[in-house]
């Protein structure tokens, strides 16, 4: 009995160290808020010395601190994943710990991304001004009123005169959350972060309901990348994950295609990417039917999906401008393979870039349609096999088709990660680490220059390859 108590205390140490590291990570933000009482004048780049760097050495030290803390968090995370049975005795305790850690990350002031301020502003546009954010950008309201609303103050310049680009359900959520802030940006930021925290914990519970494994709850709930992007930076991708997990739960556990399709339509009404999963869920549900029955269900489920999506769009959409705004995102280049082409050819021949982009997009569409049709005609269909094929499509879309890649897009891989092979799960975790520490160039140079997208891509790819190679090397050595 005494030995068991000693063992339990031993395995509490990684959890305590993880929490303490998170506190150190949060500390500069807390100190800033205590001194300044507001995020209004917070610099876009986080600094571990509580002031803007004044020399190259300051920037390098910032980069080292960021790299060290993120790496330590991931190291402790992998220890917790590997020893989850010893560390977490039951799911209730695990969820409480995830909740506490998540609340620590709530107090990180967003950096490396200012998207949450655009969410707040678009929601305020609808809640306070009664304007449609798909047609009236924040910059237009500022020009009209002749003053800058504090709720619009931290919107990135590139978004001030652009309408909302996300789905209508997300705009409705933003309207509600921003409306609760009563025009106080600091309160609005806290509300968005707390809402994301609640969604994060619900996602963890859903993952356990679906998989019945604590391993996957730990893998998702304590991943430093997710805590950083979903809670510290408050990205809306976590809501898409939320609705996708509900769709998967109802299709796998309740065998209810209609509720599953409804939730997937809601996921698409947050971010359009979710549409890629639709055929795979439908095909799984109709796997025991003949080809005529499969086609019938596909048509009916497709009609339901479009009807629900149209219902959400009817709240805001008056014409095709919304669709054009979304497609316009493919004309932006950032931290992607296309960015390399764009950066080196933008002053000579952009036609090459757009031609290659069109070819890649068409090739992807053909491959996607071919895969779906082939699966529809397949005799034996298993959920794990379907999801793995979806995973391939999602990887291609995320890392090859998209021209405007951002680190938090890796979140898209997590709702279905639980059916991947072990090496694929490790690859996603490696990528989540690599795309987080790739930001060190911004810290080192204290710059947001677009050219830093080039070293970002190289660092992300290099770190991922090195980590995967090291894992394979260890496996080979063990076999010998």
At residue 8, does pLDDT exceed 70? no
Taking the whole predicted model, whether its pTM rises above 0.85 is answered as: yes
Query: What would the two tokens of residue 255 be?
Result: 């065998």
Residue 258 burial (C-beta neighbours within 10 Å; 0-12, 13-18, 19+): exposed
The string over 44-54, giving b where at least 16 C-beta atoms fall within 10 Å of a residue's C-beta and e elsewhere, is: ebbbbeeeebe
Residue-level pLDDT at 268 = 96
Name 287's Cβ contacts closer than 8 Å, sequence gap at least 6: 380, 381
% of the chain at pLDDT higher than 70: 91
Looking at per-residue pLDDT, the higher value among 43 and 430 belongs to 430
Confidence of residue 477 (pLDDT cuts 50, 70, 90): very low
The tens digit of pLDDT for each residue in 386-441 reads: 999 999 999 999 999 998 899 999 999 999 999 998 888 999 999 999 999 998 88
Confidence of residue 470 (pLDDT cuts 50, 70, 90): low
Residue-level pLDDT at 6 = 54
Neighbour tally for 137: CB within 10 Å: 23
Residue-level pLDDT at 373 = 95
Helix axes 422-437, 453-479, angle to 10 degrees: 140
Query: What would the two tokens of residue 183 be?
Result: 């025009």
Q: Give residue limits of the domains in the chain.
A: 116-183
61-67 own/partner pairs: CB under 8 Å, 24+ apart: 62/443, 62/444, 62/446, 63/440, 63/441, 63/443, 63/444, 66/437, 66/439, 66/440, 66/443, 67/437, 67/440
The tens digit of pLDDT for each residue in 331-362 reads: 778 888 888 888 888 767 778 888 898 999 99
């Amino acid at each position: 009995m005494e030995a068991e108590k000693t063992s339990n205390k031993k395995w509490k140490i990684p959890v305590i160290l993880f929490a303490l590291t998170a506190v150190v990570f949060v500390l500069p933000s807390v100190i800033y808020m205590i001194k300044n009482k507001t995020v209004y004048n917070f610099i876009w780049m986080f600094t571990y010395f509580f002031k803007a760097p004044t020399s190259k050495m300051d920037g390098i030290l910032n980069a080292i601190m960021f790299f060290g803390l993120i790496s330590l968090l991931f190291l402790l995370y992998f220890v917790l994943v590997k020893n989850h049975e010893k560390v977490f005795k039951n799911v209730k305790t695990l969820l409480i710990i995830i909740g506490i850690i998540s609340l620590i990350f709530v107090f990180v002031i967003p950096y490396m991304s200012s998207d949450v301020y655009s969410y707040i502003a678009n929601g305020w546009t609808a809640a306070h001004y009664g304007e449609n954010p798909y047609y009236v950008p924040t910059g237009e309201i500022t020009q009209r009123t002749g003053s800058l609303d504090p709720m619009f103050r931290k919107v990135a310049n590139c978004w001030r005169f652009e309408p909302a680009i996300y789905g209508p359900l997300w705009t409705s959520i933003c309207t509600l959350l921003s409306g609760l802030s009563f025009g106080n940006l600091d309160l609005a930021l806290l509300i968005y972060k707390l809402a994301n925290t609640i969604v994060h914990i619900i996602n963890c519970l859903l993952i356990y309901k679906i998989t019945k494994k604590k391993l996957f709850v730990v893998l998702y709930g304590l991943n430093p990348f997710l805590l950083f992007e979903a809670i510290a930076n408050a990205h809306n991708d976590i809501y898409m994950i939320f609705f996708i997990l509900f769709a998967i739960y109802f299709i796998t556990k309740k065998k209810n295609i209609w509720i599953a399709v409804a939730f997937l339509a809601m996921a698409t009404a947050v971010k359009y990417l979710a549409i890629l999963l639709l055929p795979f869920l439908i095909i799984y549900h109709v796997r025991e039917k003949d080809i005529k029955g499969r086609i019938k269900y596909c048509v009916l489920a497709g009609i339901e999906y479009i009807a629900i999506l149209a219902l959400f769009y009817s709240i805001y959409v008056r014409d095709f401008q919304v669709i054009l705004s979304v497609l316009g995102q493919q004309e932006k280049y950032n931290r992607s393979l296309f960015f390399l082409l764009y950066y080196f050819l933008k002053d000579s021949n952009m036609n090459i870039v757009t031609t290659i982009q069109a070819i890649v997009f068409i090739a992807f569409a053909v491959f996607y349609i071919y895969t779906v049709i082939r699966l529809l005609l397949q005799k034996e269909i298993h959920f794990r096999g379907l999801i793995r094929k979806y995973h391939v499509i999602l990887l291609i879309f995320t890392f090859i088709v998209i021209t405007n890649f951002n680190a938090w897009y890796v979140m898209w891989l997590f709702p279905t990660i639980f059916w991947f092979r072990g090496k694929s799960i490790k690859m996603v975790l490696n990528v989540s680490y690599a795309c987080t520490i790739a930001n060190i160039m911004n810290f080192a140079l204290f710059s947001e220059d677009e050219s830093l997208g080039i070293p970002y891509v190289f660092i992300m790819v290099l770190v991922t390859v090195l980590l995967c190679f090291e894992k394979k090397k260890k496996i080979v050595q063990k076999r010998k």
